[in-house]
Amino acid sequence: MISEHGLSDRKLKILHAIIQTYLETGEPVGSRTISKYTDLNLSSATIRNEMADLEELGYIMQPHTSAGRIPSDKGYRLYVDMLMDEKEQELSEMQEQMLDKADKMEQLLKQAAKVLANSTNYATMVSTPMNNANKIKFIQLSMVDAEQVIAVIVLGGNVIKNKIINIEEPLSNENLLKLNMLLNTTLNGMSIEAINLGLIARLKEQAGIHSQVVGKVLDAVADAIQVDEDMQIYTSGATNIFKYPELSDKQSAQEIINAFEEKQQLTELVTQTLSQEENTGIQVYIGDETPVQTMKDCSVVTATYELGDGMKGTIGIIGPKRMDYEHVLKSMKRLQNELDQMFHKNE
């Protein structure tokens, strides 16, 4: 939706110019600059009048009297909303850079974060898909040596988990085979929530003397999923924030980078993004709008990508409010596309 701003065309142009120059320079922009470096052919005085209006309307503000203007959050918002409505751009070539190294999901996502950080010069994050309603695709137990069994669990989307289980007495080949049969026939295609206590009891009963092994395997399954529940987040380019003076004073830099390192706070972003069901799946949080308080002086752009099976992951870009929204939105769309495509191809 376009905001009901009701600004004259000229005001809009001036606002646009202010924002764009501010995006580049990071310095408050004065009336003279606009008057000179724009094709409006208006004197600085006229611009000043318009700017006074724009300020009154809340789109721009002065850091102090006798300084130029900078966009307010509201101003950015308008700008971004305008951008969002623009036609889609041609995609791709990003693909090459990514396919390159990527074969495992983990690496693919790491790479994605890196590519995005490089191409935008902001800090980026990519989350692994959350498997809320994920299904077990395959389970296999194998003996590694006399006392150790390895359990390999493949989930939907080819997410692979494995876990080593210590057992007291060796399993015969035959029994191993039986157990594998049992587990697979019972659990295959099963969604994770569906594995309840009743089912577990039944399984153990059927396993007979090996019920304890089954117990351990189920623990392993639970564990494997548990680990995945708090999904992984890959970040890149956190130090890019040093490039923007307004964020790189010790205090802010410390906090933001810390958030990136600890990742804890980023999960908030992920859940927030995933819950919000938008058409394009791209969201822009400007300043205070962000779900993560640490980043209240930043802008955060997030997008979701899909894996099928209802699995969704998140991509995020964190930068200064004066971020190059145009470029970022484009890059975001591209990456989103790439990821969607890749995962669907791999399926």
Partner DNA sequence: GTTAGCACTCAAAAACAAAGAGTGCTAATA
Partner DNA sequence: TATTAGCACTCTTTGTTTTTGAGTGCTAAC
| CA–CA dist 78, 72 (Å, integer) | 10
Decide whether 238 or 284 has the Cβ nearer to a copy of itself. Answer: 238
Instruction: Determine which residue in the list 137, 216, 321, 330 makes contact with a copy of itself, applying CB under 8 A.
Output: 137
Can you tell me which residue has the tokens 């202010």? 18
Instruction: Determine which residue in the list 62, 172, 239, 280 makes contact with DNA, applying CB under 7 A.
Output: 62
Instruction: Determine which residue in the list 253, 297, 310, 324 makes contact with a copy of itself, applying CB under 8 A.
Output: 253
Where do the DSSP E strands lie in the chain? 60-61, 70-71, 123-127, 136-145, 148-155, 159-166, 233-236, 282-286, 298-308, 311-320
Decide whether 60 or 116 has the Cβ nearer to DNA. Answer: 60
Which residues on adjacent β-strands are paired with residue 299? 286, 319
Instruction: Determine which residue in the list 3, 24, 37, 45 makes contact with DNA, applying CB under 7 A.
Output: 45
Q: Does 144 bind a copy of itself (CB under 8 A)?
A: yes
Q: Which of residues 55-94 bind a copy of itself (CB under 8 A)?
A: none
Decide whether 141 or 269 has the Cβ nearer to a copy of itself. Answer: 141
Select from a copy of itself, DNA, none the partner in contact with residue 48, using the beta carbon and a kind-dependent cut-off of 5 to 8 Å: DNA
Three-class SS of 202-230: HHHHHHHHHHHHHHHHHHHHHHHHHHHHC
Number of Cβ atoms within 10 Å of the Cβ of 26: 14
Answer whether 92's CB lies under 8 Å from 334's CB: yes
Select from a copy of itself, DNA, none the partner in contact with residue 137, using the beta carbon and a kind-dependent cut-off of 5 to 8 Å: a copy of itself
Q: How far is the CB of 24 from DNA (least distance, A)?
A: 13
HSE of 173, CA atoms in CB hemisphere, 13 A: 0
Q: Does 163 bind a copy of itself (CB under 8 A)?
A: yes
Answer whether 132's CB lies under 8 Å from 310's CB: yes
Of 13-21, 41-49, 83-91, 254-262, which part binds a copy of itself (CB under 8 A)? 254-262
Q: How far is the CB of 237 from DNA (least distance, A)?
A: 27
Instruction: Determine which residue in the list 43, 212, 226, 293 makes contact with DNA, applying CB under 7 A.
Output: 43
Q: Does 97 bind a copy of itself (CB under 8 A)?
A: no
Three-class SS of 308-338: ECCEEEEEEEEEECCCCHHHHHHHHHHHHHH
β-sheet with 148-155: strand ranges across: 136-145, 148-155, 159-166
Q: How far is the CB of 46 from DNA (least distance, A)?
A: 4
Can you tell me which residue has the tokens 């923007």? 244
Decide whether 18 or 139 has the Cβ nearer to a copy of itself. Answer: 139
Give the pair of three-digit tokens for residue 180. 């594998």
Q: Does 322 bind DNA (CB under 7 A)?
A: no
SS3 136: strand
The contact set with a copy of itself (CB under 8 A) reads 103-104, 107, 137-138, 140, 142, 144-145, 148, 150, 152, 154, 158, 160, 162-164, 223, 227, 235-239, 242, 248, 250, 253-254, 257-258, 261
The contact set with DNA (CB under 7 A) reads 27-33, 41-46, 48-49, 51-52, 55, 62-69
